Amino acid sequence: MDERVRFVADYLTGGVTMTALCRRYGVSRPTGYQLIARYEAAGAAGLAPRSRRPHTSPQAIAPPIAAAIVQLRQRHPDWGPVKLIDALRLRAPGEAWPAPSTAGTLLKARGLIAERRRRAAPAPSVRPTTGMDTPNAVWTIDFKGEFRTRDAAWCYPLTVMDGCSRYLLACQALRSTASGPAQAVLTRVFHEYGLPTRIRSDNGVPFAGPTALAGLSRLSVWWIRLGIQPERIQPGCPAQNGRHERMHRTLKRGTTRPPAGNHAAQQRRFAAWRREYNEERPHAALDAVTPAMIYVPSARVFPTTLAPVTYPGHFDTRRVVSNGCMKWRGRWVSVSTVLVHEDIGLEELADGIWAVYFGPVRLGTFDERLGRIRSGRAEALETSANC
């Protein structure tokens, strides 16, 4: 500032050309003439440093656009810039919405985005499970852990999702992981949306039986009776059900921090979040549309009565009675209590060696000489994936 004042003073005293004066102060002639013009227009105050910020910017967000982004973020604080822009573009496709990175800069400036911890990406499985290319080809099911509502009651959210469309078919707050309540939820879902081809789950109860042949449970036996193939991920490989696990992370952030006051209030929160997840929230994996835009109910309706399990003509069929055993040539052979009153099929592999099936599921191998069925843990569900 002092040098600018001296520059102007030397110019006003005369006796020196602008070229010589600019050379003396080490500035260009346009800069010299600019300083003189600013002094003549505003006096000494005109020589003060000015902002270099451009008057206009092609990247600037128009105030109505910025207001829409901020308002939507305030309504959905767990949505990131990509999700926000996708949702706004669905509502007003003709508007010139900015890039997600620009929206992120806006939200950071408004204090609406905090730095988050980077998560390590899970290692992919070596062999993928069944493809999810069409709605109702594979449904996924799981419990989102457990937590206490503010009245100290335990809550176990049961979630069911269509793997292709990510449509959340159910999000029900249960009081335990017992088979009965889970079956009641699935019965309602089957009535409303029809039957899938497969249901993928982990190896926990009530989806699997830790000690039963082939890991079957009463719930998975019911699925097989309905013509649904159970499909379990490999133990310790949650990435094989990655879509469901990712949904659970969003569910936890949106509905349980903090938990509701009681069970009924928590269920209302789940219902509102499920509607938003299905109908409002765009999914990047779905080309930025909502699950409700893709999902269609299954053509396979829920039957009024269960059809009997049938086997090929060369199979030997046995009924599992109330003690969990089958009768084989005058003696009892233990099978499983989850198959009580069900028919199993035996296919002879060699002299005295039989493969044992319940529907399409191989339970194990029956050795007549030993009088017992060897559990087919390694050969249990032929659709199970390997890590």
Q: What is the pLDDT of residue 268?
A: 97
pTM for the model stands at 0.75
Q: What is the pLDDT of residue 385?
A: 39
Mean pLDDT of the 105-132 span? 67
Q: What is the pLDDT of residue 46?
A: 83
Q: Residues 155, 268: one domain?
A: yes
Confidence of residue 131 (pLDDT cuts 50, 70, 90): confident
**Residue 310 maps to a domain:** no
141: left (phi over 0), alpha (psi -120 to 50) or beta: beta
Confidence of residue 2 (pLDDT cuts 50, 70, 90): confident
Confidence of residue 116 (pLDDT cuts 50, 70, 90): low
Q: What is the pLDDT of residue 109?
A: 87
Q: What is the pLDDT of residue 58?
A: 64
**Residue 115 maps to a domain:** no
Q: Residues 28, 150: one domain?
A: no
Q: What is the pLDDT of residue 219?
A: 96
Q: Residues 151, 97: one domain?
A: no
Sign of the Cα pseudo-torsion (10, 16, 17, 22, in order): negative
Instruction: Work out how many domains the chain is built from and give that number.
Output: 4
**Percentage with pLDDT > 70 across the chain:** 92
**Residue 147 maps to a domain:** yes
Lowest mean pLDDT among 39-48, 132-141, 298-307: 39-48
Q: Who wins on pLDDT, 215 or 53? A: 215
**Residue 384 maps to a domain:** no
Helix (H, G, I), strand (E, B) or coil at 322: coil
Q: Residues 196, 245: one domain?
A: yes
Residue 218 has pLDDT above 70, yes or no: yes
Q: Residues 185, 266: one domain?
A: yes
Lowest mean pLDDT among 117-126, 132-141, 270-279: 117-126
Q: Residues 79, 202: one domain?
A: no
* Residue whose C-alpha is closest to residue 385's, from 198, 179, 177: 198
Residue 124 has pLDDT above 50, yes or no: no
* Residue whose C-alpha is closest to residue 159's, from 230, 245, 218, 224: 245
Q: Residues 160, 284: one domain?
A: yes
Q: Give per-residue pLDDT as tens, 4-30.
A: 888 888 888 888 888 988 998 899 999
**Residue 305 maps to a domain:** no
**Residue 330 maps to a domain:** yes
For the chain, the average pLDDT equals 88
Q: What is the pLDDT of residue 376?
A: 62
Mean pLDDT of the 190-209 span? 94
Q: Residues 341, 261: one domain?
A: no
Confidence of residue 239 (pLDDT cuts 50, 70, 90): confident
Q: Residues 39, 74: one domain?
A: no
Residue 173 has pLDDT above 50, yes or no: yes
* Residue whose C-alpha is closest to residue 176's, from 188, 187, 185, 163: 185
Q: Who wins on pLDDT, 386 or 148? A: 148
Cβ burial, residue 54 (10 Å; 0-12/13-18/19+): exposed
Q: Residues 145, 275: one domain?
A: yes
Residue 335 has pLDDT above 90, yes or no: yes
Mean pLDDT of the 198-207 span? 93
**Residue 195 maps to a domain:** yes
Q: Residue 144 belongs to what domain range?
A: 138-293
Q: Give per-residue pLDDT as tens, 93-114.
A: 988 899 998 898 889 888 888 7
Q: Residues 289, 182: one domain?
A: yes
Q: What is the pLDDT of residue 379?
A: 44
Give 5-39 as a DSSP string.
HHHHHHHHH-SS-HHHHHHHHT--HHHHHHHHHHH
- CB under 8 Å to 309, separation ≥6 — which residues? 224, 225, 342, 343, 345, 358, 359
Q: Residues 99, 246: one domain?
A: no
Q: What is the pLDDT of residue 387?
A: 40
Confidence of residue 42 (pLDDT cuts 50, 70, 90): confident
Q: What is the pLDDT of residue 40?
A: 87
* Residue whose C-alpha is closest to residue 138's, from 206, 281, 240, 225: 240
Q: Give per-residue pLDDT as tens, 149-170.
A: 999 999 999 999 999 999 999 9
* Residue whose C-alpha is closest to residue 219's, from 238, 202, 237: 202
**Residue 160 maps to a domain:** yes
Q: Which amino acid is at 131?
A: G
